[in-house]
Structure 1
Amino acid sequence: MLFIIPPKVHLLDITGPAHIFYEAKEYGANIELHFVTINDHTQINSSAGLHFNELVPFHEFQLSTEDFIFIPGIEFSLISDTNFYLKNRLFFKWIKDQYDNKAQICSVCTGTFLVAASGILDGKNCTTHWKYFSEFNQKHPEIELIKNRLFVIEEGLYSSAGVTSGIDLALYVLEVQFSSKLAADVAKEVVIYFRRSESDPQLSIFLQYRNHLDTRIHDAQDYMIKNISSSFTLEGIAENVYMSPRNLTRLFKKTTGITVGNYLEKLRVDRAILLLEEGNKVSYVSDQCGLKSTNQLRNLLKKHKEILPKDIKSLF
Structure 2
Amino acid sequence: MAQRTLLVVLFDGVQSLDITGPVEVFAGAETHTPGSYRIRTASLDGAPVRTSSGLTLVPDESLGDVPAPHTLLVPGGQGTRVPDPRLTDWLREHGPRAERLVSVCTGAIRLAQAGLLDGRRVTTHWAYCEKLARDHPAIRVEPDPIYIRDGQVFTSAGVTSGIDLALALVEEDLGRDVALAIARHLVVFLRRPGNQAQFSAQLAAQTAQREPLREVQRWITEHPGADLTVDALAERARLSPRHFARAFHAETGMPPGRYVDRVRLEHARRLLEDTTHGIEEISRTSGYGTPEAMRRAFVKTLGSAPTEYRRRFHPTPAH
For residues 93 and 268 of structure 1, what CA distance do their matches in structure 2 show?
A: 43
Aligned to 2:313: none
What is the CA–CA distance in structure 1 between the aligned matches of 2:39 and 2:286, rounded to whole Å? Answer: 44
Residues 1:108 and 2:104 aligned together: yes
The answer to whether the 8 A contact 2:298-2:305 is kept is: no
For structure 1, list consecutive stretches of 5 or more residues without a partner in the other structure. Answer: 239-243
Write the mapping of 1:1-316 to structure 2, written as runs, cut at 5 A: 1-29=6-34, 30-37=36-43, 39-63=44-68, 67-75=70-78, 78-81=80-83, 84-85=84-85, 87-96=86-95, 99-100=96-97, 102-211=98-207, 221=217, 225=221, 228=224, 246=238, 255-257=251-253, 263-273=259-269, 281-289=278-286, 293-294=289-290, 298-299=292-293, 302=296, 306-311=300-305
Query: Cα offset for 1:217?
Result: 6.9
Query: Does structure 2 retain, via aligned residues, the 8 Å contact 1:8–1:46?
Result: yes
**Post-superposition offset of 1:193:** 2.1
> Which digits, 9 at most, give the CA deviation of each residue in 1:241-277, with x for residues without a partner?
xxx8538x96866643557776444312333356568
Residue type at the aligned position of 2:27: Y
2:50 partner letter:
N
Partner letter of residue 238 of structure 2? R
Instruction: Give the alignment's TM-score, normalised by structure 2.
Output: 0.75
Contact 2:129–2:142 (CA<8 Å) still a contact in 1? no
Aligned equivalents of 2:18, 2:88: Cα separation in 1: 22
CA distance in 2, matches of 1:245, 1:123: 46
Which piece of structure 1 moves more, 253-262 or 184-193?
Answer: 253-262
Deviation by residue 1:100-154 (Cα, 9 ceiling, x = unmatched) = 3x42111011111111233332222222222222322233222222332211112
From the superposition, tell whether residues 172 and 28 of structure 1 become closer, same or farther in structure 2 (CA, over 3 Å). Answer: same
Q: TM-score, normalised by structure 1?
A: 0.76
Name the Cα RMSD after superposition. Answer: 3.8
2:279–2:306 CA contact under 8 A, matched in 1 = no
Mark the runs of 5 or more structure 2 residues left unpaired by the alignment.
1-5, 309-319
Change (3 A) 1:213 1:59: farther
284 and 128 in structure 1: CA distance in 2 versus 1, 3 angstrom threshold: same
Aligned pair count? 294
> Is the contact made by 1:35 and 1:56 (CA closer than 8 Å) also made in structure 2?
yes
